[in-house]
Amino acid sequence: MSLFEIENTLDNIKIAKPVNQKTFIHYGMLEDEIQKIIIGRLKQEVDEKRSDAPKILGEELLFIAEEYSGWQDSRKHLDILALDKKGNLVVIGLKRNENGLHMDLQTIRYAAMVSQMTPNDVYSVYAKTYECSEEDAKSKIEEWFETTEDQGESGEQEDVLNSDDFLKDVRIILVNQNFSSELTSCVLWLLEKEIDISCIKITPYQLNGQYLWDMDKIIPLAEANDFRLKQKQKKEEIKEQKQHNRDYTKYKFKDTKNPLKEQLINNLPKNQLVFHIVKEYVKRESGITFEKLHEKFPDSLHRIKRFGVIRKIENIEEKYLNRYFSETIFLDDRTEIAVCNQWAADRISGFIAAAHQLGFEIEAMPKP
């Protein structure tokens, strides 16, 4: 991206003239100066209380501390520590070079360290920064959260400070003049792993003796971030639905065709039910071959046919051995078979129906 100044020529024709762009190093601006400018603007944004005003880092943030090093056995200092409107701590890393070398590693380390902070730790750090009491610090932070436009599902203002969401997560913001492909690849990978990390590019300009900064959030792009958040929400909903639909039913059964096995075998989860019915059927049907047993328990009873209900142990690929019970069953001809332990709730009913045809009475036990 480039910045252009629109000028009028002597012929009153408008032309676009590129604004002088160089590096922070060329302009003689140190990282410490850049950091002070960003912190100063963050403080101004809080004082202005204007939600429509551009934000230097693209969002409302409450500055907590600079050069923070509140951990034992380490001399490391993170550049800027802040809070966002959702109550997350935000670790802000700053460089003024052309590649952002090691920014990702440093800020991840700092994020891990501050993740241990408690609310009282935050009040204490804020109090030290703003030279006030911890009680005043808590009040100031609470007041800042109260200025948010976000509301809960009830339509009422959310009490972030006293909710379970306060300090629930740590976010990372990387700020630099440029980012290497190695660093951006790392950031994109972390985003895929649902680590909240973003990159803001500062491009410095000089116009009529004044410095201009173009602050551009390059990762994630707003549209891509919306998509990512929707995908994350979708995954969470699917996971929640699967958890809700998970089948914890226990079963009991007896073999009505074996007078020696009239007693009930109970309290079996569905995969154990399958194993024990196959085991009892083999005991009852003396001399049965694998082929005959496979006819009684065909692959079609299982959701994934390549696993089936039973397999000869010698025919199971090593990578799939964990899909079968480690306890095997020997037929009279010494054929060793294994029973699949992967049973979905939508398939166990088909197996139960087949087992009924073989003389097994099966009942679902009452849920506790």
**Token pair of 26, please?**
């060329």
Is 286 within the bounds of a domain? yes
Q: Say yes or no: 195 and 85 in one domain.
A: yes
For the whole prediction, is pTM greater than 0.75?
A: no
Cα 144 from Cα 60, distance rounded (Å):
10
Determine, yes or no, domain membership for 153: no
Instruction: Count Cα atoms within 13 angstroms, Cβ side, for 221.
Output: 3
3-class DSSP state for residue 166? Answer: coil
List the alpha helices (DSSP H) in 160-204: 181-192
CATH code at 27? 3.40.1350.10
For residues 212 and 333, membership in a common domain is answered with no
pLDDT given for residue 304 in this prediction: 79
Write down how long the chain is. Answer: 368
pLDDT in tens, 214-226: 999 998 876 566 6
By CB neighbour count within 10 A (0-12 exposed, 13-18 middle, 19+ buried), where does 299 fall? middle
Query: Both 140 and 79 in a single domain?
Result: yes
Residues 56 and 195 in one domain: yes
Structural domain count of the chain: 2
Q: Which of 99, 78, 247 lies closest to 172, judged by CA? A: 78
Q: Cβ-count burial of 175 within 10 angstroms (0-12 exposed, 13-18 middle, 19+ buried)?
A: buried
Q: What is the pLDDT of residue 153?
A: 44
Q: Decide if 152 is inside a domain.
A: no
Domain range for 299 is: 251-364
DSSP letters spanning 9-77 = -TTS-EEEEEPEE--HHHHT--HHHHHHHHHHHHHHHHHHT-TTSPPTTSS-EEEEEEEE--STT----
Residue 31 and residue 106: Cα distance in Å, rounded?
A: 16
- Residue 275 identity (one-letter amino acid): F
Taking a C-beta distance cutoff of 8 angstroms, is the pair 9, 211 a contact? Answer: no
Provide the residue-wise pLDDT of the chain in tens; the chain has 368 residues: 678 888 887 777 788 888 888 888 888 889 999 999 999 999 999 988 777 788 999 999 999 999 998 776 667 789 999 999 999 999 999 998 877 778 888 899 999 999 999 999 999 999 999 999 999 999 999 999 887 555 444 344 567 887 788 999 999 999 999 898 889 889 989 988 889 999 999 998 888 888 889 999 998 876 566 666 677 777 766 666 655 456 788 999 988 887 665 567 788 999 999 999 999 999 999 999 999 999 999 999 987 778 899 999 999 999 889 999 999 999 999 999 999 998 877 788 899 999 999 999 999 988 76
Residues 14 and 75 in one domain: yes
261 and 350 both lie in a single domain: yes
pLDDT of residue 19: 85
- The pLDDT assigned to 172 comes to 96
pLDDT for 59-94, tens place per residue? 999 999 999 987 766 677 899 999 999 999 999 999
Question: Which residue bears the tokens 């492909």?
Answer: 181
Do 258 and 222 lie in one domain? The reply is no
How far are the Cα atoms of 94, 123, 221, 366 from residue 87, in angstroms, in the given order?
A: 22, 13, 22, 44
Alpha-carbon distance of 197 to 191, in angstroms, equals 7
**DSSP-assigned beta bridge partners for residue 361:** 254
pLDDT of residue 243: 55
